[in-house]
A and B are shown apart, each in its own frame.
Chain A
Amino acid sequence: MIPELGQFSLILAFCLCVILATLPLLGASRNNLLWMSLARPLSAGIFVFLAISIGILAYSFAVNDFSVQFVANHSNLLLPTRYKLTAVWGGHEGSFLLWTFMLSGWMLAVSVYSMSMPIDFVARVLSVLGILCCTYILYMLATSNPFDRVVPLAPADGVELNSFLQDFAFILHPPALYMGYVGFSVVFAFAVAALLSGRLDAAWARWCRPWANAAWAILTMGIALGSWWAYYELGWGGWWGWDPVENPPLITWLLGTALIHSLAVTEKRGVFKSWNVMLAILAFGGSLLGTFIARSGLLTSVHAFATDPARGIFILAIFALAIGGSLLLFALRAPLLKSEFGFGLLSREIFLLGNNMILVVASASVLLGTLFPIVYQALTGGLISIGPPYFNVIFVPLMALLVLLLGVGPICRWKKTSTGYLVAQLSRVALASVVLGVLLPLVILLEFSFAATIATSLAVWISLTMMKDLANKTANKPTRLQGLKSLSLGYYGMQTAHLGVAVMLIGASMSSAFDSEKSVLLSSGQSIDLGEYVFVFDGTTRIEGPNYIGDEASIQVLKNGEFERILNPQSRIYITSGSPSTEMAIDAGFLRDLFITLGEAKEGGAWSMTIYIKPFMRWVWLGSIFMALGGIIATRDKRYRRLRRRQEELLAEDLRANLQPAL
């Protein structure tokens, strides 16, 4: 009975969505204030019913209701409660419900934080989101209902949740990733609303920016969590694998990065208007493409959900409707959105244009690499696979170029900058970056690597140009502190995120240039040297978890002969499914990670194990945290709030003016 309530609630949400998808949109075009004002309460209603729905699914997991097919397939009696609850997104149906619930959350947020915008615009935005929500719920009800029952006989126990998913990071990664992904549908809705209303100006960019920043920041965290999870759970010592399902979030992220930069240009200078709309559509397209690839079984991947062609067709239809439709709308309406201002050949606009070009090319090449196997198979019937080498060859140089521009852009002035000014500002900084880039890796790691030198130079370049810019911007104030106080949160957000790029650059390049690994077979009491560390194997003990059994090794780590700590990697067998799993032991440090995976027991009590040392590994995620933080700081900028007050007055006038014809 309870699960049926969940389904009923889903159907009610669908009904509200149908109204939201139509009436406010019609109201906006006919200037009917009543219909437009329905958008906000309807969004709240949809949120409530989807919350009930997902709550009931979680409840079904909590009480082990194995008569629900989805619960029986993803949970069992032995599963710890926290994983029972997160098993809600452990499979296709439930994760799609989470996805839709996230969308309704964003809709609610838009309806609450949109008081500064004209009602017709809000109505259009929410209506477009309503259309999306409507198709998602329809998709669930038609092909992937999480509340389907097992009839007539419910199993006494369910099957094992994939052991990879029984992990802390899995509690966070999918919700964060989905929230970021879905956040781009808000930006998309803004773009479509702009096309529909023909209103695309600096004010539009200002309304749009906090949403784009927020979605981008959350997506950054979602991707970073995923890579962290892969790093410590999958046990192959890597953090990014260019997997077909990993790539679309990256495409979305790259396009989203381009978008937040081009929105800045539009807000400040009124140019790149229709380009924003294009980017918003494409970034959202990337997120739908990701959904399609993960859920249709189009490409084989570690992330693949169950494969059923009907599901693929349905998502493809949503994809074609949303993206094809909006691109068509763009083609018809974009000529109305002309930019009026020009800019010089050497100006901040140009550098941001360069940023956009590089990011778009990068995302296009990732897309190409992801889909090329299908193109090839469709054209020739042959089979190929595209591996990391392709992606690294294309992606790494593009990012290096981007970082080079990143240093100049903020120093450069809007509209027009003289070459002499740039040279004066940057020549010493450039020299210092190269010198430090060569010296730092040598001093810290006592090794030379070309890649590390380039990466360090670029990271120093980012940091020094940033300091130079800060120095310039605070120079005119009586004290530096006053100068720092006078800078906007938007500026600080930008610099924080840029610093994140530098930090991540160091992490990514050092951990791949200087990592060392060794696979060994050790008996109790034996030891192995790697770098400046000695690892002593002290044997294993049997362990018993709630739903697994296994062995835990005890390994002493000695650095330069002195005891540092003990690491305990595990090898587990999950009882219900019998599937083996290894739990890495990681000693995470600011300058290096030690990482041990326990393999198999051999005859005579020897164990195979692999030991990795990865310098600066943490910096990859530290950098992501800085980037995300930068995005969030920028959304808190005062000018969005100031604007709100001014707009409220305008809104009041607007309402009075609007009410007249209605009366």
Chain B
Amino acid sequence: MALLEIKDLQVKYGVIPALKGISFEVELGEAVAIIGANGAGKTTTLHAISGIADKCGGQVFFNGEDITKMPAHKIVSRGISQVQEGRGVFPNLSVAENLSLGAYLRNDKAEIAKDYEFVYEVFPRLLERQKQMAGTLSGGEQQMLAIGRSLMARPKLLLLDEPSMGLSPLITENIFKTIKKLNKERQMTILVVEQNAQMALWVSHRTYIMETGNIVYGGASKELKNQDFIRKSYLGQKD
């Protein structure tokens, strides 16, 4: 049984279909990427999993449990944490307060303290800026904070929405190295949605390709890298 199983998921915004019935799964310990152009429905997919987009059909199973109709905060309690597109840090709260919200549903103080240490170890920049308002951080630092905050929830499944958005290539690379490390060394299951196909293929075991609300292709990332149409349409390489 897969950790996350999505069956025929449909979402509409008004009358406009955003997801036209997609199905896929993520196994425990896996890193899976979804790539595709703007408006393909990648973000909507993550929102639907997290329970902040209304689903109009299909089912979502997590750990064997049907979470299709569950309210967002309960889904978080089951172990799914999402890092939103554009970071979504709270600019009016300090770095430490932002991190504390990641552990909002937890009561195990000693373990939370360990996770603070872990997050500060992964992102030493955050330790330096603990007391600073999150709104004053740079884009890269905000992305670190958003990921760190999700780690504070100790999720079983980490959803990442466009972690490269608005970041320089160098910082993007660092962020993706961290993601890969989390997956490899901490065995964290990761579902990442990304326009930067190169990074997405590098970080993941398997990749799905979305186009206008449908999954049109899926396969092992290593093999996809060498497919001609991927190289042309998504990696910008010439023959």
A associates with B? no
Query: Which A residues are closer than 8 A to B by beta carbons?
Result: none
Query: Which B residues are closer than 8 A to A by beta carbons?
Result: none
